[in-house]
Amino acid sequence: MSFITVNAAMAQPAASSKSSPRGSGLGTRVLSALVLIPVVLGLLYLGGLSFALLIAVVAILMAGEWDRLTGGAGFGIMGLGTGAALILVLALGYMGRGDWALLALLPGAVVLALLSRFTGQKMTWPVLGLLWLGLPVLALLVLRMGEGGMAAVSWLFLSVWSCDTGAYFAGRGIGGPKLAPRISPNKTWAGLLGGMAAAGLVSVLLALYLSWDNMVLFAVLGAVLAAISQCGDLAESWVKRTFDVKDSGTIIPGHGGILDRVDGVLFAAPVVALMSMLPGLGLLPWQ
């Protein structure tokens, strides 16, 4: 895929919402998921370099989408600079230097701030984007490489995906009061509660599979993780409204861009990583 093709598939103006990939129907969304989910789960199962490369590719695509979404050129100097910084962070994390990876975000942010002077962009958005993307991708990599990594990342993905599904059907089936009408007019409180219930149920099923006794706690954690993922969804919606953009891209049929698909994971991943770093609390069954 050339840079021109990728740039064309980045953020789409709100005015084109009638032809937005979100409007292509539930069938297209399901088909895309059936194609992508096995690939993601397969590379997650393999772990190691395979999963690291998956995260790296997704990070680069998200860097371009974020730059285009926030008024940049996509894979111009800012998008490429963000992508390079994310690869450096991931490389350090893969080498087992998560502390250095976190520290690398600081000079990366400084470089992006300086580069913004040449592009005319406000430095706020590139710097925010580096943190918005850098912390989650590092968290995912470190989680998978750590003890119980397969279980940790699987729980994260399953909770967020089940939340999205539960929220979609509860919101459409029940409706009711809007959750945040000025940010995301289609989201309802019923959808949020439905998503949290779905994530809690999936967490219980996973706890049963792992033969963990404290299923109630795990269900509550799953529901909380679902709520956090919805915050990520709302946060991206706020950014898109700020720049009058409907979708971050069109690379995934029926879902929009990469950012549109993983907005919840981006907020939830650092939380799971933090919980995994506190084994003394005994929150997670694989600790």
pLDDT tens digits, one per residue of 41-57: 999 999 999 999 999 99
Domain-embedded: residue 22: no
Confidence band of 195 (pLDDT split at 50, 70, 90): very high
SS (H, E, C) the chain: CCHHHHHHCCCEEHHHHHHCHHHHCHHHHHHHHHHHHHHHHHHHHHCHHHHHHHHHHHHHHHHHHHHHHCCCCCCCHHHHHHHHHHHHHHHHHHCCCHHHHHHHHHHHHHHHHHHHHHHCCCCHHHHHHHHHHHHHHHHHHHHHHCCCHHHHHHHHHHHHHHHHHHHHHHHHHHCCCEEECCCEEEEEHHHHHHHHHHHHHHHHHHHHHCCCCCHHHHHHHHHHHHHHHHHHHHHHHHHHHHCCEEECCCCECCCECHHHHHHHHHHHHHHHHHHHCCHHHCCCCCC
Amino acid at 85: A
Confidence band of 285 (pLDDT split at 50, 70, 90): confident
More confident residue, 188 or 249: 188
pLDDT at 118 over 50: yes
pLDDT at 9 over 50: no
- Cα–Cα distance, 113 to 127 (Å, whole number): 7
pLDDT at 21 over 60: no
Domain-embedded: residue 204: yes
Domain-embedded: residue 35: no
Tell me the percentage of the chain whose pLDDT exceeds 90: 68
Total-model pTM: 0.87
Domain-embedded: residue 177: yes
Domain-embedded: residue 174: yes
Provide the pLDDT for residue 255: 63
Domain-embedded: residue 136: no
Average pLDDT of the residues in 212-225:
91
Name the residue range of residue 240's domain. 147-287
Confidence band of 119 (pLDDT split at 50, 70, 90): confident
Interacting residues of 84 by C-beta distance below 8 A, sequence separation 6+: none
Interacting residues of 128 by C-beta distance below 8 A, sequence separation 6+: none
Report pLDDT digits (tens) over 228-238.
999 999 999 99
**How would you classify the pairing of strands 245-247 and 12-13?**
antiparallel
Confidence band of 26 (pLDDT split at 50, 70, 90): low
Domain-embedded: residue 268: yes
pLDDT at 16 over 50: no
Residue 84 has which token pair? 């390079």
Amino acid at 130: L
Query: Is residue 48 a contact partner of residue 270, using CB atoms and an 8 Å limit?
Result: no
More confident residue, 78 or 250: 78
Confidence band of 109 (pLDDT split at 50, 70, 90): very high
Domain-embedded: residue 21: no
Instruction: Say how many domains are in the chain.
Output: 1
Mean pLDDT of the chain: 87
Interacting residues of 127 by C-beta distance below 8 A, sequence separation 6+: 109, 112, 113
Report pLDDT digits (tens) over 80-105.
999 999 999 999 999 999 999 999 99
Provide the pLDDT for residue 22: 42
The answer to which of 22-36, 145-159, 255-269 has the lowest mean pLDDT is 22-36
